Structure 1
Amino acid sequence: MPASTRERGLEAAVELLGAEGVRALSHARVDERAGLPAGSTSNWFRTRRALLGGVVDWIAERERADFDPAAMPAVTGADELIEGLCAMVELQAGPFAVRTRARYALFLELAADPELGEPLRQQRHEFETWTESIVTAVGFADPGPATRALMALADGLLLHRLTVDPQLDMRPVIERAVHALERS
């Protein structure tokens, strides 16, 4: 089924954000990138703020669909947790890299706009809750701080992968962190 005009516009907006940053986002550039007639994007999103809001919602929806906890295999041990974290960062830095860059750009841009950035923060909170349930199932003694440490580590590795070293082998770092937190 072909994507709707709105969907094509949002996909193009994410591509623009991920490739060129927030300053590149405009209705005209989105129309051009999506191959839409001029004015199409502004029919869906009248203002730039509305367009940013649409992109924020679109990214959150896609991430919920791509990382649906119900569709993920059960994680019951440290080795499975390591495997899952490595796979997650690989996906975010590989096939979903443009979306990841767009999400980071939006987090920074919308830090001063709590209302507009709320769907991204809510998505992050849901992901943190899910991750904490996994860390708890694995048997970490203090799952809350361990979860936040693992997520911060994954964010740092992901950012490093996207900006400095696309070939970074993350597994040794993730293994070391999981085993250290497991013993804490």
Structure 2
Amino acid sequence: MATRTTGSARADLITDAALDLLAERGMRGLTHRAVDERAGLPQGSTSNYARTRQSLLEATVRRLAEREARVLAPGELPAPGPSAPAGQDALIAGLALALHRYLTRHPELLVCRYELALEATRRPELRAFFDATGRQFREPLVALMTAAGSPEPERHALSLVAWCEGLMFSCAAGSYSRSVPSEAELRTGFGELLRGMLGH
């Protein structure tokens, strides 16, 4: 029996099904018909919600960002404030907690992110949309680096993001997939990185 949903609940059902398919089958497996089947909806439901493939991809990127925000929980990080050892330790602990939670509980979202990021390299209109959704994670990091006393917060935020991205790829799709760091190891890594950049 088809699942009966309306409004935002149906949108979430469709885009969650799209993410499931991306993680399981890759970009080739993401079709309107396959989403209908995975979501348990009547044929044509996904087309009514997202008429074109581009609109389906954009909706999927938006849903991925929503789910990542719940996992990474930027709101859990300490509020930007005067730089101090205790504040820096809190930032390091918060970053380590968020990244460990992502790596250990939601690796399928990382696979989806890579599928969509690669597709965005071939679709300029999706690239702009993909980058825009990423600002919700990048801008808070710039603010935190500014508050921590960074003389170049944009550059240091980029270094922080690049370190995290490299670690996530290595653990989700690279040669460290069976060697996910512990939360303590991540705290050590973040500490080395931040103290190296900030000089204290």
TM-score category, normalised to shorter length: 0.7 to 0.9
Structure 1 gaps of 5+ residues are none
Counterparts of 1:67 and 1:96, CA distance in 2: 10
**Aligned twin of 1:17:** 22
Counterparts of 1:71 and 1:176, CA distance in 2: 21
Which of 177, 180, 184 is equivalent to 1:168?
180
Contact 1:85 1:154 in 2 (8 A): no
Contact 1:18 1:102 in 2 (8 A): yes
1:40 and 2:45 equivalent?
yes
Q: What are the residue-to-residue correspondences of 1:1-184 with 2, within 5 Å?
A: 4-64=9-69, 69=74, 72-74=77-79, 77-163=87-173, 164-166=175-177, 167-169=179-181, 170-171=185-186, 172-183=188-199
Deviates more, 1:146-155 or 1:99-108: 99-108
What's the CA shift for 1:15? Answer: 1.1
Q: How many residues align?
A: 183
Structure 2 gaps of 5+ residues are 82-86
Counterparts of 1:24 and 1:104, CA distance in 2: 15
What's the CA shift for 1:99? Answer: 2.3
What's the CA shift for 1:64? Answer: 4.7
Higher Cα Rg, which structure = 2
Summarize the Cα distance change of 1:108–1:150 in structure 2 as closer, same or farther, 3 Å threshold. Answer: same
| Identity value in percent | 31
Deviates more, 1:45-54 or 1:70-79: 70-79
Contact 2:58 2:126 in 1 (8 A): yes
